[in-house]
Amino acid sequence: MVVVTVAFVIIRLIPGDPVRNALGIMASQDVVDARREALGLNLPLWEQYLRFWQGLLSGNLGDSFSLQMPVTEVIGQRLPATIELAVLSLIVMLAFAIPLGMAAAALTRGGRRRGLELGYTSVSGFIAVIPEFLIGVGLIYVFAVQFQLLPVAGRSGPDSYILPVLALSIGGIAGVSRIVRAEALSVLDQDYIRTARAKRMSSWRLYMRHALPNLLTSSLTIGGLVLGGLIAGTVLVETIFSWPGLGMTIVSSIKDKDFPLAQGIIMVYGFLVLLVTLVVDILLVMLDPRSALKEN
């Protein structure tokens, strides 16, 4: 609801005449007027808003100026590539960040191995600062320019996924593993870990069975937050790797002043972020019976 309204308002906030803007100064007044009429921009604002909702509910977001095709169709074509990229990156990120964070916590807990701790925190801190598109540039340089191992552009075979997914996930691995480590350190300090140690089990069992489940809820919450950022990060990474997803499309639509398309994609992004938040909340309730109790 909010997302839709914001997307609607944005287009109306653009200074000047968006149609004139889009068509350029060279377009004749007749053409501009005809386009305004077609877009319903001459109607009163409340009617525009109603129509916008109507269109949205019937799956019609208007036509793209530049591509001359329905916005929904463009989104339908491009969305899967973006989702693929974001989900793969999230999986890779969590798959590496959680074990890494736990290992770091296990090795440095109680102030042992100060050197390792300092090295880990400074290296991961440094990597977490680097934005994903610069990591992308670095990856291209190393794997495509220097060694020519992997393709740099487009979406084709499985190997074309490697660099974009890495570019998106490396920063997250560093950042999330730091948080996991902090969480793990506090979990390992808990009394129930002492109880588990009193049962004299292997370290593996101690960490995997007794510590990990208590980390999952907080890791998942962070994962949800990160996924929102990941979706945004895809915009930059898609541009670098010429990935045919929504990100590339919205960038070009903003540059070309293709407002219906930009508006549609912004809405899709907004919904994605909301959806992720919702899914994470549901998962949290399923994983942790206590949070369900709180909801009641």
Partner 1 sequence: MSTLPVPAGPGQSQVQRFAAVLRTPLGIATVAGVLVVAFVAAFGPALWSAQAAATDFSQLSAQPSPAHPFGTDAGGRDVMARVLTAAQLSVGMALVATALGVVGGVIIGFLPIILPRRIARFVVSATGIAIAFPALLLMMMFSIVVGTGVQGAVLAIGFAMMPAFGRLAQTMSSSISGRDFVLAARVLGVSRFRILARHILPNVAEPLTVNASLAAGGSLIAFSGLSFLGLGVQAPDFDWGRLLNEGLSKIYINPATALAPAGAVIFVGVVFTLLGETLSRGFGIEPLLGKRPRPLPRTAPGGQEVADDVDDATVLRVRGLRVAAPARSGWTHPVNNVSFEIRRGEIVGLVGESGSGKSLTCLAVAALLEHPLDVSADSVNFDGSELTQNGKVPGRIRSAALRTMLGTRLALVFQDPSTSLNPALRVGSQVAEIGRLHEGLSTKAAQARAIDRLAEVRINNPARRAKQYPHEFSGGMRQRAMIAMGLMGSPALIIADEPTTALDVTVQRGVLGQLKAVNREKNAAILLVSHDIAVVTGLCTRVLVMYRGSIVEDVDVNDLVAGRAKHPYTRALVDAVPTMTAEKGEPFTTIPEGTIFPTALVEETV
Q: Which residues contact partner 1 by CB under 8 A? A: 2, 6, 10-11, 13-15, 110-112, 114, 125-126, 129-131, 133-134, 137-138, 140-141, 145, 186, 189-192, 194-201, 203, 205, 209-210, 213-214, 216, 228-229, 231-233, 235-236, 239-240, 250-251, 254-255, 259, 262-263, 266, 269-270, 273-274, 277, 288-290, 293
Q: Angle 212-240/259-287 helices, nearest 10 degrees? A: 170
CB of 105 to partner 1, least distance (A): 13
Write down the least CB distance from residue 29 to partner 1, Å.
22
Please state the closest distance from residue 77 (CB atom) to partner 1, in A.
20
What is the nearest approach in angstroms of partner 1 to the Cβ of residue 97? 19
Decide if 218 contacts 282 (C-beta within 8 A): no
Report the candidate in 281, 276, 279 with the shortest Cα–Cα distance to residue 292. Answer: 281
Quote the least distance from Cβ 111 to partner 1, whole Å.
5
Pick the closer one to partner 1 by CB: 10 or 83: 10
Closest distance of CB 104 from partner 1, Å: 16
Phi/psi for 63 (5° steps) reads -105, 145
Six-digit token string for 113:
């191995």
Residue 14, Ramachandran bin (φ over 0: left; ψ between -120 and 50: alpha; else beta): beta
What sign does the dihedral 130-134-136-142 (CA atoms) show? negative
If you ran DSSP here, which 8-state letter would residue 41 be given?
Answer: T
Residue 262 and residue 81: Cα distance in Å, rounded? Answer: 17
The rounded Cα 210 to chain-centroid distance in angstroms is: 31
Helix (H) or strand (E) holding 25: none
Smallest distance from the beta carbon of 216 to partner 1, in angstroms? 8
**Residue closer to partner 1 (CB basis): 34 or 116:** 116
Instruction: Please say which residue, 77 or 239, places its beta carbon nearer to partner 1.
Output: 239
d(CA 266, CA 263): 5
Q: Which two tokens stand for residue 156?
A: 């084709």
Neighbours of 53 (CB within 10 A): 14
* CB of 167 closer than 8 Å to CB of 240: yes
